[in-house]
Structure 1
Amino acid sequence: MKNNKLGLTINEVSENKVSLTRVTLESQIDVTIEDGQRHDYKIQTGIKFFNHMLTGIASRTCLNFDINYKATIAEPLDHVIVEDTGLTLGRAIREMLDARKEKGVNQRGFYTIAFDEALVGVTLAFDGRAYTFLRNEVPGMKLEYVEDILAINLKQFFEGFAQGAGCVVQIQFFAGDDSHHTWEATFKAFGEALRESLLPCPYRAGTTIGLKGTGMEGKL
């Protein structure tokens, strides 16, 4: 099944596995997420620190990630790589949530993680609306570079994810002086919030988070 607007081809969808490909003039990205027996993650975007952050998400979400980015231009921009990865992963998560809707799924999650001096909280709401908010700047997120990537490009991952998943992403920075610690806490908290969003909730069987027109009015 192909979504021409986003350049997405959905190869496989089930409650426990989603595989899709996104092709643009600049890149091709293949993403597979699987809820099953753990195996070694296969994550290659060409950006070392970003690979590390995606591994952190996979570990905290308790999903197997296979993510492979191939540039179709000579010198791909980090901004494009990160945003495209976020958008494609976001769509994969949305497909998995939709596949679990009939039995009931949380579709919301919140988690706060401490990583040494850094403390970051992430809230996710899969309401079908795409917004991203980063609140309360701390020293660790103000530094221009984080290892081999511009910090501003890491923010684009969450923007892309929100667009692909139809998700509100709220990130609250409570503390953080070291840029590596601050962003690692952010991505790991994101993974934990994502894991919580994917948990079963039989009470919501057949419904979505938005109450209007879903039969859930007056139940909450």
Structure 2
Amino acid sequence: MRTATISRTTHETSIDVTVNLDGSGEYQVTTGIGFLDHMVEQLSRHSLIDMQVTAKGDLHIDQHHTTEDTAIAVGEAVAKALGDKKGIRRYGDALSPMDETLTRVALDISGRPYLVFDVEFSQPRLGEMDTELFEHWFHSFAQAAGITLHVETLHGSNNHHLIESAFKGLARALRAAVEIDPRKADAIPSTKGMLGG
């Protein structure tokens, strides 16, 4: 089983994350930010990656540090669980419809982190969460996980649907990319013989 546990403690947050890439999408998520919990739960459920995420942060200041550090810890746990990445499919993509919204997500577990995030919100908050923090979450996750990640709204207007379809699209693309390819289970999927750099 490809599993990993990350504990990340700073002056601003204390976060524990455990993932199982070969799970069934079971989750336990507590960040202190209800909408963020909902999104990380979607990520787990639709990627089939089991996740336990517990975060305690300086929410009396704002949600920035908790959002950022949760994304970093989840990304680091995924990267650690992938190990040398032998046998993975590496690439994943998904079209994620949610009512009037359609989001396209594509990713490469390349070891070269990069984010293109083309999602625009028309309101400053969803629940108690600042919408500007969603791009920051995706950026921090991509950096920590070492993936090239493209997230694009093709069309949509409901802010809740915009971000939920993005997280579900990430989940489905990630599910495809981390799966072991039975035709090349013993090989790293790169002509270089390694991923990254």
Q: Which has the larger radius of gyration?
A: 1
Match of 2:95 in 1: 112
Query: Pick from 21, 26, 30: which aligns with 2:7?
Result: 21
Compute the displacement of 1:76 (Å): 4.6
Counterparts of 2:43 and 2:91, CA distance in 1: 16
Q: 1:68 and 2:54 equivalent?
A: yes
Compute the displacement of 1:42 (Å): 1.2
Counterparts of 2:90 and 2:68, CA distance in 1: 22
Counterparts of 2:152 and 2:23, CA distance in 1: 31
How many residues of Structure 1 are paired with residues of Structure 2 in the alignment?
Answer: 193
Q: TM-score, structure 2 length as denominator? A: 0.89
Q: 1:94 and 2:46 equivalent?
A: no
Compute the displacement of 1:208 (Å): 4.3
Q: After superposition, where does 1:1-220 map in structure 2 within 5 Å?
A: 15-34=1-20, 35-36=22-23, 39=26, 41-71=27-57, 73=58, 75-98=60-83, 101-102=85-86, 104-135=87-118, 137-138=119-120, 141-201=121-181, 202-203=183-184, 205-209=186-190, 211-212=191-192, 214=193
Q: Which whole-Å deviations, capped at 9, do the CAs of 1:9-29 have from their partners, x for residues lacking one?
A: xxxxxx432111111121111
What is the SS of the residue equivalent to 2:36?
Answer: helix
Counterparts of 2:52 and 2:61, CA distance in 1: 20
Q: Which whole-Å deviations, capped at 9, do the CAs of 1:125-171 have from their partners, x for residues lacking one?
A: 11111111112x55xx2322122211110111111111111111101
- Give runs of ≥4 in structure 1 deviating > 6 Å: none
Counterparts of 1:191 and 1:177, CA distance in 2: 21
Determine if contact 2:59/2:66 at 8 Å carries over to the other structure: no
Counterparts of 1:38 and 1:62, CA distance in 2: 4
Counterparts of 1:54 and 1:133, CA distance in 2: 20
Question: Identity of aligned pairs, percent?
Answer: 27
Q: TM-score, structure 1 length as denominator? A: 0.81
Q: Name stretches of at least 5 consecutive residues in structure 1 with no aligned partner.
A: 1-14, 216-220
Counterparts of 2:25 and 2:189, CA distance in 1: 29
Q: Which whole-Å deviations, capped at 9, do the CAs of 1:145-203 have from their partners, x for residues lacking one?
A: 12221111011111111111111110111111110011110100010011011111242
